Structure 1
Amino acid sequence: MRYIIIGAGAVGGTIGARLHEGGHEVVLVARGAHLAALRAEGLRFGTPQGVRTLRIPAAGDPREVALRADDVLVLAVKTQDTAAALAAWAPRPVAGGGTAAERLPLVCAQNGVENERIALRLFREVLAMCVWMPSTHLAPGRVSAGGTPVSGVLRLGGYPSGTGGARAAAIAADLAASGFSAPVEADVMGWKYTKLLGNLGNALDAVAGDTGGDAVRALRERAGAEGAAVLAAAGIAYRDPAEQARAVRATLRLEPVDGEERTGSSSWQSLARGTGSIEADHLNGEIVLLARLHGVAAPLNEALQRLAGEFARTGRAPGSLTAEELAALRGL
């Protein structure tokens, strides 16, 4: 199988790099300065085992890739970019006939729980992936992953349910042989809802950073508890977050990567890169949506969604939350 990584940032870049090092064909899809750097200099990929430059084919547009019947599309863009990416890739022809949407599997290697639903409108075969992987992408052409002895835990399964059959098993085997823990799970969406609860603190990490100390930690716990109450009101099952944390601790540990500083969440990295957008509408915003649908309140997640969006739109630096803004959050 050849892997087309749509969105070669922290997560996609790490998955693509590890698969490439594992001997698999990979194409990285990127844009802007990142694409230019990948083409000119290759991917500078850092792990605790060292930093190396990988020459992996890179594309900026679906029309640059002649799709084959053995291709796997791995979607690793942020949720706010999902619809546009899928609209571009779904109608692309595949050698032998048919389109990508008709013939190729699409793996959603993304935070949140909306991507698979968006994808299933277009693609016949959608696989869900719950990604737990400490990785960083702040500069063009550079990606690092601090996990060892594996770079991450990538739980893979079918969508809307099931294990995903032989295709998911084959993809998981390739990932497991390329530096990941990659269990196949029939309940992968349950794991993704569990991950969503942890990701509710991403907006707070992005706007407050290391400031605020105990006050920020307490707000992070409140956001998660508020989210759990909303999922309960909506009748949505999820796994025990403590079980997920134990599984990750038993599988990988964090170690430094030469020349790379450990940074914040993916939302913090979006602000640091000045992308102009952030995932909060599909993380905290998912809880806000469910709360409104089921007649319950989610004031803290609503405030975090709004604040993170404002930071992204106005170009505010990560971690620049003022004392007054922090006090307002605590008073909700």
Structure 2
Amino acid sequence: MRYIIIGAGAVGGTIGARLHEGGHEVVLVARGAHLGALRADGLRFGTPQGTRTLRIRAVGGPTELTLRPDDVLVLAVKSQDTAAVLAEWAPRPVAGGGTAAERLPLVCAQNGVENERVALRLFREVLAMFVWMPSTHVAPGRVSANGTPVSGILRLGGYPSGNGGERAAAIAADLGGSGFSAPVDADVARWKYTKLLGNLGNALDAVAGRGPYGRGSADGRLEALYERVTAEGAAVLAAAGIPHDDPDELARTCGKALRLEPVEGEERTGSSSWQSLARGTGSIEADHLNGEIVLLARLHGAAAPLNEALQRLAGEFARAGRAPGSLTPAELDALAALAGL
């Protein structure tokens, strides 16, 4: 199989790099300065074991390559970009007849729970992937992954249900032989909803610098806000009847298989949302993380005021180009008051 990594940033770049090092054919899809650097100098890939330059084919989109029946599309863009990107890829012809949407499997290696549903409108075969991967898009052409002895935990399953059959098993085997823990799991949705709860604090990390990568707070309010936004999300999932587990227990479970170690010459930064603000992308995934909880609350008669506030605030930061961690004291006071702190 040939793996086409659509979105070769932190997650996609790490998956592509590891598959390439595992002996598999890989194509990286990127844009802008990142694409230019990949084409000119290759992918600079750093891990705790060292940094190396990988010469992997890089393209800007589906018009630059001929799709083959043995291709696997791995979608690793942010959720807010999913619909537009899939609209480009779905109608592209595949050698021998048919289109990508008709013939090729699409793996959603993304945060949130909406991407698979969006993909299934276009693609016949969609696979869901739970991603636990501490990685950073350091600079154009540079990606680092801090996990060891594996770079990430990637649980793969069918969508909307099932284990994904033989194709999922084959993909999981390739990933498992390329530096990942990659079991097939028919209950992957439960893992993804549990991770969604853990990701609700990404917006807070992005705007305030809270969390394992940030400065924390002297009075403990940021830590308390993180707990409140997660608890609010769990209450909404319960109201919607959606199975999930404790995100803290999920973190402990994943921590047993993957530990963080430094990559020489590189500093671990913040969450994926923090990285979006740092790169000035103009968008952020809060609409598909906190916004998912807000949507479910509205559908099921629950309340999610803190998630709604963080969704709105993170969006404002992205659109205005504000730096990560630049939340003002007044803005923090407003969030704390909303949470009753």
TM tier, shorter chain?
over 0.9
- Cross-structure match for 1:38: 38
CA shift, 1:242, in A, is: 4.0
Looking at structure 1, the residues matched to 119 and 98 of structure 2 have their Cα atoms a distance apart, in angstroms, of 17
> What CA distance in whole angstroms lies between the structure 2 residues aligned with 1:242 and 1:263?
21
- The one-letter code sitting in structure 1 at the alignment partner of 2:15 is I
Cα RMSD for the two superposed structures: 0.8
User: Where do 1:38-187 residues align within 5 Å?
Assistant: 38-187=38-187
User: In the aligned structure 2, how far is the partner of 1:215 from the partner of 1:132?
Assistant: 27
1:241 aligns with 2:247: yes
C-alpha distance in structure 2 between counterparts of 1:53 and 1:107, whole Å: 26
Partner of 2:271: 265
Distance in 2 (alpha carbons) for counterparts of 1:324 and 1:241:
30
**Residue 138 of structure 1, CA deviation:** 3.2
Q: CA deviation at 1:320?
A: 0.5
Q: C-alpha deviations, 1:100-141, integer Å up to 9, x for none? A: 000000000000000000000000000000100000003100
Picking from 287, 292, 297, the partner of 1:286 is 292
Alpha-carbon deviation of 1:49?
Answer: 0.3
Q: Is the 8 A contact 1:138 1:273 kept in 2?
A: no
The Cα of 1:285 is off from its aligned counterpart by 0.3
TM-score by length of 2: 0.96
TM-score (norm 1): 0.99
CA drift of 1:253 comes to: 0.4
Aligned to 1:26: 26
Matches within 5 A, 1:293-308: 293-308=299-314
- Between the aligned partners of 2:312 and 2:246, the Cα distance in structure 1 is 28
Query: Unaligned regions of 5+ residues in structure 2, if any?
Result: none
Paired with 2:87 and 2:197, the residues of 1 have a C-alpha distance of 29
CA distance in 1 between partners of 2:28 and 2:215 (Å)? 36
Equivalence for 1:253: 259
Contact 2:48 / 2:263 at 8 angstroms: preserved in 1?
yes
Which structure 1 segments of 5+ residues have no match? none
> What CA distance in whole angstroms lies between the structure 1 residues aligned with 2:292 and 2:129?
18
Q: Which amino acid aligns with 1:185?
A: D
Instruction: Indicate conservation of the 8 Å contact 1:74/1:108, yes or no.
Output: yes
Q: Who is 2:234 aligned against?
A: 228
Instruction: Provide the identity percentage.
Output: 84
